[in-house]
Amino acid sequence: MQVRSVATTPFNDQKPGTSGLRKRVQVFCQAHYLENFVQSIFASIAAPPGATLALGGDGRYYNREAIQIILRMASANGFGRVLVGRGGILSTPAVSCVIRKYQTYGGIILSASHNPGGPDGDFGIKYNTANGGPAPEKITEAVYAASKKIAQYRIIDAPDVALDNLGDSKLGDMIVSVIDPVGDYAELMESLFDFAAIRKLLSGGFRIKFDAMHAVTGPYAREIFVNRLGAPPDSVINAEPLADFGGGHPDPNLTYAHELVEALYGANAPDFGAASDGDGDRNMILGRQFFVTPSDSLAILAANAHLVPGYQQGLAGIARSMPTSAAADRVAAALDIPCYETPTGWKFFGNLMDAGKVTLCGEESFGTGSDHIREKDGLWAVLFWLNILAARKQSVETIVREHWARFGRNVYSRHDYEGIPGDAANGVMRLLHERFGEWQGAQLGNYRVLFCDDFSYTDPVDGSVSTGQGVRIGFTDGSRIVFRLSGTGTEGATLRIYLESFEPDVAKHHLDAQEALAELIGIALEISELRERTGRDRPTVVT
- The residues carrying an active-site annotation are 113
Closest CA to 345 of 329, 322, 325, 327: 322
Residue span of the structural domain in which 417 resides: 409-542
Residues 43 and 134 in one domain: yes
Residue 288 has pLDDT above 90, yes or no: yes
Instruction: Reduce the DSSP state of residue 301 to 3 states and report it.
Output: helix
Q: Which residues pair with 319 in a beta bridge?
A: 340, 361
Q: What is the pLDDT of residue 17?
A: 83
Residues 357 and 486 in one domain: no
CATH code: domain of residue 152: 3.40.120.10
Domain boundary among 362, 392, 407: 407
Q: What is the pLDDT of residue 19?
A: 78
- Contact at 8 Å (CB) between 534 and 424? yes
- Contact at 8 Å (CB) between 139 and 131? no
Q: Which residues pair with 108 in a beta bridge?
A: 55, 127
Residue 127 has pLDDT above 80, yes or no: yes
How far is the C-alpha of 182 from the C-alpha of 216, rounded, in Å?
10
Q: Which residues are within 8 A (CB) of 437 and not within 5 positions of it... i.e. 6 or more apart? A: none
How far is the C-alpha of 320 from the C-alpha of 318, rounded, in Å?
7
pLDDT digits (tens, 9 = 90+) for 154-164: 999 999 999 99
Helices (H), 435-529: 436-439, 513-516, 518-528
Residues 295 and 263 in one domain: yes
Q: What is the pLDDT of residue 278?
A: 93
Question: pLDDT-derived band of residue 543, with 50, 70 and 90 as boundaries?
Answer: confident
How far is the C-alpha of 15 from the C-alpha of 110, rounded, in Å?
16
Question: pLDDT-derived band of residue 1, with 50, 70 and 90 as boundaries?
Answer: confident
Residue 6 has pLDDT above 70, yes or no: yes
Residue 488 has pLDDT above 80, yes or no: no
How far is the C-alpha of 342 from the C-alpha of 87, rounded, in Å?
36
Residues 245 and 373 in one domain: yes
How far is the C-alpha of 310 from the C-alpha of 195, rounded, in Å?
12
Share of the chain above pLDDT 90, in %: 89
**Is the C-alpha dihedral spanning 370, 371, 372, 377 positive or negative?**
positive
Q: Which residue has the higher pLDDT, 407 or 466?
A: 407
Residues 26 and 74 in one domain: yes
Q: What is the pLDDT of residue 66?
A: 98
Mean pLDDT over residues 141-148, rounded? 97
Share of the chain above pLDDT 70, in %: 99
pLDDT digits (tens, 9 = 90+) for 307-352: 999 999 999 999 999 999 999 999 999 999 999 999 988 888 999 9
N-to-C CA span, the chain: 53
Q: What is the pLDDT of residue 374?
A: 96
Closest CA to 45 of 122, 167, 138: 138
Q: Which residues are within 8 A (CB) of 120 and not within 5 positions of it... i.e. 6 or more apart? A: 24, 25, 26
- Number of Cβ within 10 Å of residue 320's Cβ equals 29
Q: Which residues pair with 155 in a beta bridge?
A: 4
Do strands 447-454 and 471-475 pair parallel, antiparallel, or not at all (unpaired)?
Answer: antiparallel
Residues 253 and 395 in one domain: yes
Domains of the chain: total: 3
Range of lowest pLDDT (151-155, 282-286, 465-469): 465-469
Residues 22 and 171 in one domain: yes
Domain boundary among 407, 438, 473: 407
- Classify 62 in phi/psi space as left (phi over 0), alpha (psi -120 to 50) or beta: left
CATH code: domain of residue 506: 3.30.310.50
Q: What is the DSSP string of 28-53?
A: HTSTTHHHHHHHHHHHHH-PPTT-EE
pLDDT digits (tens, 9 = 90+) for 441-464: 999 999 999 999 999 999 999 998
Distances (CA, A) of 490 to 123, 124, 252, 443: 9, 10, 18, 38
How far is the C-alpha of 168 from the C-alpha of 83, rounded, in Å?
9
Q: What is the pLDDT of residue 136?
A: 87
Residues 395 and 458 in one domain: no
Residues 383 and 468 in one domain: no
Residues 402 and 413 in one domain: no
Question: pLDDT-derived band of residue 150, with 50, 70 and 90 as boundaries?
Answer: very high
Residues 80 and 124 in one domain: yes
Question: pLDDT-derived band of residue 487, with 50, 70 and 90 as boundaries?
Answer: low
pLDDT digits (tens, 9 = 90+) for 61-114: 999 999 999 999 999 999 999 999 999 999 999 999 999 999 999 999 999 988
What residue type is 127 in one-letter code?
Y
Q: What is the pLDDT of residue 252?
A: 93
How far is the C-alpha of 37 from the C-alpha of 22, rounded, in Å?
11
pLDDT digits (tens, 9 = 90+) for 131-140: 999 998 889 9
Write down the mean pLDDT value for the chain.
95
pLDDT digits (tens, 9 = 90+) for 224-261: 999 999 999 999 999 999 999 999 999 999 989 999 99
Domain boundary among 181, 197, 230: 181
- Number of Cβ within 10 Å of residue 201's Cβ equals 23
How far is the C-alpha of 344 from the C-alpha of 346, rounded, in Å?
7
Whether pTM exceeds 0.85: yes
Residue 491 has pLDDT above 80, yes or no: no
Residues 260 and 160 in one domain: no
Q: Which residues are within 8 A (CB) of 83 and not within 5 positions of it... i.e. 6 or more apart? A: 52, 53, 54, 55, 98, 102, 104, 177, 179
How far is the C-alpha of 66 from the C-alpha of 169, rounded, in Å?
18
Question: pLDDT-derived band of residue 541, with 50, 70 and 90 as boundaries?
Answer: confident
- Contact at 8 Å (CB) between 302 and 335? yes
- Contact at 8 Å (CB) between 243 and 60? yes
